[in-house]
Structure 1
Amino acid sequence: MPSPLQILLTLLVIGAVTYALRLAPFVALRKVRDSELVDHLSRTMPLGVMAILVVYTLSTVDLTAAPHGLPEIAGVAVTAGLHLWRRNAMLSIIAGTATYMAVLALV
């Protein structure tokens, strides 16, 4: 059985390694943070990721069988329309999800 000193030293090493691993990305990216590439990616990536997620999600919708994609189309339409109108991501996500679930339950 390990002694209390061994347990303490083990916990200290685990804590130090965890702290170092969490700190490493911030230290490594300090010089890159002000580059034009990172600035460009921070502006374009969110839209690209969202487009990929929408296409991936809608690619499995069967338009030939009931409910013919109606819940998905309604959810996407409400989410997109509300976001274009209010520019509030949380409101758009909640309303789009609620619309999808309501239409899914009704058809």
Structure 2
Amino acid sequence: MIAAILVCAAVTFALRFLPMQVAHRYRDREDLKEFSTLLPAGLMLILVAYTLVEADPGTQLSRLILAAAVSVLVNLASKNFLISFLAGFAAYSLAGLVLS
């Protein structure tokens, strides 16, 4: 049992430590800087697409589309992720009260 815990601890440490060591060497590369700026938006796009594909058609889908649209518009206007997240959450919640 202790051996299993030690192996898990070593793997967890390696998975956190090694990428930081590799990233430190390549920190000044332009292509990685561009990739790091595009990655969060790309991941959010994948999550939103998956959520919309898996949503039930009808009321839930319309609530999700409304919340996504509100989040994008607020983010474009404010450039603040937290405010756009809260606005999208509020739009989704309020649409649930109105549409249900």
TM interval, shorter chain, is: 0.7 to 0.9
Q: Which residue of 17, 23, 28 maps to 2:22?
A: 28
Structure 1 consecutive aligned stretches of length 4 or more whose deviation exceeds 3 Å:
20-25
Larger Rg: 1
Instruction: Read off the aligned partner of 1:27 and give its amino acid letter.
Output: Q
TM-score by length of 2: 0.72
1:29 Cα offset (Å): 2.1
Percentage of identical aligned residues: 30
Higher helix share: 2
Structure 2: 5+ residue runs without aligned partners?
1-9
Q: Which residue of 35, 49, 52 maps to 1:58?
A: 52
CA–CA separation in structure 2 for the residues paired with 1:76 and 1:29 = 33
Kindly provide the CA deviation profile for residues 61-90 of structure 1, in whole angstroms up to 9, marking residues without a partner as x. Answer: 233x4x262211211111011111111110
Instruction: Read off the aligned partner of 1:106 and give its amino acid letter.
Output: V
State the number of aligned residues: 92
Residues 31 and 100 of structure 1: CA distance in aligned 2, closer, same or farther (over 3 Å): same
Matches within 5 A, 1:84-99: 84-99=76-91
Structure 1: 5+ residue runs without aligned partners?
1-16
Tell me what 1:103 maps to: 95
Instruction: Read off the aligned partner of 2:98 and give its amino acid letter.
Output: L
1:25 Cα offset (Å): 3.4
Q: Which residue of 75, 83, 92 maps to 2:75?
A: 83
1:23 Cα offset (Å): 4.5
CA–CA separation in structure 2 for the residues paired with 1:81 and 1:91 = 11
